[in-house]
């Protein structure tokens, strides 16, 4: 395959977003392609392998979907690239404009958006079904016109034409978490950890309530890393009894995440049974496994299959803080068995759930699209 010039575009994500930059852009660059990433940021961001062009960060959603879209389009059109690969549904108009200009265009679908809209707190509940329907209708003709679709899960892929769609799952880069997996497990303190966006639907209340139920003599701490959405939720949750046992460190770098997981005894993935979550493949689940942690996860059929076959964790009702507390106590009271769970989870990631295999699929997808 000849060397390609590829432009990745996002209006929502930061220039160093993990899926976009650290996985997809670097995978393409490491395969010999010329990669430019255009993303919003107020400063200059540089990298040796990927060129990064920033546009001013928007102050809100309206500005993001108007001024920022225009800035991205002008920056994209200044480059005569072989492929334009965009990552946000609000950039569908930009993608269509690029296609009308004769460009090859790829839509990277991170989320099952019609289902995700059902959980958007800022959209009135009565309006969500109508918005979800409108999004599905808008995506359908675009999928027929654009050159390719990259879907983050098999469920998302089923919504798009098979002949032009590739599933590239958001599995972890194993090397990032090797140090965490190598630290002695049984000598760690009684710490359970959650990393990621912190929301009601992702189980923040149940997590805090669960540590509050555990005997104080155990000294259990819940470590949280990520941003509260909305920001005011932090103040609400901090009033819960269990908050006194929480260490909240905010957003962490990849190095910071690895260090945190290396101190932990279990990783939590307690998403509620929302339409967008029950068949999701949350990267945090596989990152915990890659770090050698046993996991406490929502008892969804797909996750039951993954965790059950690997024998790497405990399944619970994510709305039952008592069940979550019981699972955490079992892991803390049985360190040898818990360590074995962690090893099995890491083995499963090394064999199956890793980014290396997904990167190969992405490169082959580009090859097919350009042939």
- Mean pLDDT over 265-292 rounds to 96
Please write the tens of the pLDDT for every residue from 200-221.
999 999 999 999 999 999 999 9
Same domain? 182 vs 122:
no
pLDDT of residue 52: 97
Question: Cβ distance 17 to 38 under 8 Å?
Answer: no
- Looking at the structure, do residues 182 and 315 belong to the same domain, yes or no? yes
Say whether both 110 and 229 belong to one domain: no
Domain at 202, CATH number: 3.40.50.2000
Predicted pLDDT of residue 181: 84
Both 161 and 229 in one domain: the answer is: no
Q: Are residues 196 and 162 in the same domain?
A: no
The predicted structure's pLDDT at residue 121: 67
The pLDDT confidence band at residue 123, using thresholds 50, 70 and 90, is confident
Please tell me the predicted confidence (pLDDT) of residue 233: 96
Q: Are residues 114 and 202 in the same domain?
A: no
Single pTM value for the model: 0.92
pLDDT over threshold 90, residue 138: no
Let me know whether 244 and 212 are in one domain: yes
Does residue 278 surpass a pLDDT of 90?
A: yes
- Between 100 and 275, whose confidence is greater? 100
Do residue 132 and residue 187 come from a single domain? Answer: no
- Burial code (b: 16+ CB inside 10 Å, e: under 16) for 175-202 equals ebbeebbeeebeeeebbbbbbbebbbbb
Contact 90, 72 (CB under 8 A): no
Within 13 Å of residue 103, how many CA atoms lie on the same side as its CB?
25
Does the structure show a pLDDT above 90 at 157? Answer: yes
Q: Contact at 8 Å (CB) between 189 and 224?
A: no
At 40, is the secondary structure helix, strand, or coil?
A: strand
Are 156 and 208 found together in one domain? Answer: no
Mean pLDDT of the chain: 94
| Per-residue pLDDT at 58 | 94
Domain of 333? Answer: 174-351
Number of domains the chain is built from: 2
Residue 230 and residue 120 share a domain: no
* Each residue's pLDDT tens digit, 165-194: 999 999 999 999 988 888 899 999 999 999
Residue indicated by tokens 């929302």? 274
Taking the C-alpha atoms of residue 176 and residue 301, their distance in angstroms, rounded to an integer, is 29
Same domain, yes or no, for 359 and 315? no
345 and 362 together in one domain: no
């Amino acid at each position: 395959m000849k060397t390609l010039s590829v432009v990745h575009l996002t209006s929502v994500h930061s220039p160093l977003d993990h899926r976009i930059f650290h996985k997809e852009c670097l995978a393409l660059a490491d395969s010999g392609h010329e990669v430019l990433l255009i993303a919003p940021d107020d400063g200059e961001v540089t990298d040796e392998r990927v060129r990064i062009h920033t546009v001013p960060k928007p102050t809100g959603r309206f500005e993001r979907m108007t001024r920022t879209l225009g800035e991205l389009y002008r920056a994209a059109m200044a480059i005569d690239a072989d492929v334009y690969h965009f990552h946000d549904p609000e950039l569908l108009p930009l993608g269509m404009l690029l296609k009308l200009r004769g460009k090859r265009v790829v839509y990277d679908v991170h989320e099952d958006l019609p289902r995700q809209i059902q959980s958007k707190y800022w959209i009135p509940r009565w309006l969500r079904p109508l918005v979800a329907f409108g999004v599905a209708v808008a995506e359908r003709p675009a999928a027929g016109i654009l050159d390719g679709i990259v879907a983050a899960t098999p469920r998302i892929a089923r919504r798009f034409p098979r002949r032009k769609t590739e599933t590239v799952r958001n599995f972890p880069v194993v090397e990032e978490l090797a140090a965490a997996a190598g630290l002695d497990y049984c000598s760690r303190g009684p710490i359970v950890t959650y990393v990621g966006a912190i929301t009601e639907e992702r189980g923040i209340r149940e997590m805090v309530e669960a540590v509050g139920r555990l005997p104080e003599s155990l000294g259990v701490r819940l470590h949280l890393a990520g941003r509260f959405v909305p920001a005011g939720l932090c103040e609400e949750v901090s009033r819960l009894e269990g908050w006194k046992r929480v260490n909240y460190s905010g957003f962490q770098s990849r190095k910071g995440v690895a260090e945190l997981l290396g101190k932990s005894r279990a990783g939590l993935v307690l998403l509620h049974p929302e339409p967008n979550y029950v068949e999701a493949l949350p990267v945090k689940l596989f990152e915990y496994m890659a770090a050698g942690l046993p996991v406490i996860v929502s008892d969804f059929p797909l996750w039951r299959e993954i965790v059950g076959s690997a024998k790497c964790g405990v399944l619970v009702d994510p709305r039952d803080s008592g069940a979550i507390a019981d699972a955490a106590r079992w892991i803390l009271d049985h360190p040898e068995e818990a360590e074995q769970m962690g090893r099995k989870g890491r083995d499963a990631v090394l064999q199956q759930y890793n980014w290396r295999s997904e990167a190969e699929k992405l490169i082959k997808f580009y090859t097919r699209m350009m042939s």
